[in-house]
Amino acid sequence: MAIEHFINEKITQIRVYINAVINHTLHYTELDLFVEHTMSEWTLLNVSDETPSSARERVFWHIMHELSLHSSKKFDSDLYFKSEISTCLEFFSGVGGYPIDCVGWRPLP
């Protein structure tokens, strides 16, 4: 699977997961599991370049790192976190600009 295809597929999926957690139609642990599985799948691609190939990919990795550092449960307790992630989702949808302070690098093995 090409990197660009992987990223685009995961962006579509993560948008659904995050919106479901925000709307309380999915338990936050399901999003945490999605992050774990996505990181595992990423390692199978044997990527050796940490530089994202697009702004969308950079924002994707920013979200992934934020969710890896913090449990998705933070959506209920941290308005700044929720706002930051929502801004990233708006960027993916084309209704928002590039998120401020977005630092997203590809994880390397």
31 contacts 89 by C-beta, under 8 angstroms = no
Instruction: Let me know if residue 59 belongs to a domain.
Output: yes
- Render each residue's pLDDT in the chain as its tens digit; 109 residues: 599 999 999 999 999 999 999 999 999 999 999 999 999 999 999 899 999 999 999 999 999 999 999 888 898 899 999 999 999 999 999 998 999 889 899 998 7
Closest to 104 measured CA to CA, from 2, 20, 10, 34: 10
Q: Does residue 106 lie within any of the structural domains?
A: no
Residue 20 included in any domain: yes
* 11 is a domain residue: yes
Is residue 102 in a domain?
A: no
> Does 71 reside within a domain?
yes
- Count of domains for the chain: 1
Is 31 within the bounds of a domain?
A: yes
Model pTM? 0.93
So what's the pLDDT on residue 1? 59
pLDDT for the residue 73: 85
Domain that residue 64 falls in: 3-39+51-93
Q: How far apart are CA 43 and CA 55, in angstroms?
A: 21
Instruction: Look at residue 37 in the predicted model and tell me its pLDDT.
Output: 97
Quick one: pLDDT at residue 72? 85
**Would you say residue 22 lies in a domain?**
yes
Q: How far apart are CA 17 and CA 53, in angstroms?
A: 24
